[in-house]
Amino acid sequence: VSWAASQTGSATGLACTKPQYRFTPSAVQKIKELLKDKPEHVGVKVGVRTRGCNGLSYTLEYTKSKGDSDEEVVQDGVRVFIEKKAQLTLLGTEMDYVEDKLSSEFVFNNPNIKGTCGCGESFNI
């Protein structure tokens, strides 16, 4: 499994690599499938919005370009853009795609979440 990583410099000038956002092979494959028939779009954008009874919910949309303040993560040929206001909220998050007989959805395994609402639609940090 290859994970998306970001280079960050330190005060000593040394660079370390640490995963900030990760995508499972299932999520990567689903994004590739979704983008296959959309050549005008270069990737997907992930963000958070105020919504629900517990504060925040995730957003996922097609994008034609990288926004000026978006962070770009490239993994296995898939480009995912993280909106600026979501970057700290999503730090360390793994995005997965799960499918069963009744539903299919992207799932965000976010270590920063302090609580969720009963219906699972929103969360707080």
**What is the structure's pLDDT at 114?**
62
Domain 18-120's class? Answer: mainly beta
Query: How do the domains of the chain map onto residue ranges?
Result: 18-120
Q: Which pTM does this prediction carry?
A: 0.75
Which pairs count as long-range contacts for 22-25, CB under 8 Å and 24+ apart, including other chains? 22/75, 22/93, 22/94, 22/95, 23/73, 23/75, 23/76, 23/78, 23/80, 23/94, 23/95, 23/96, 24/94, 24/95, 24/96, 24/97, 25/1, 25/76
Residue-wise pLDDT tens for the chain (125 aa)? Answer: 333 433 333 444 445 455 688 999 999 999 999 999 999 999 999 998 876 665 777 888 999 999 999 999 999 999 999 999 888 888 888 999 999 998 898 988 877 766 555 555 544 55
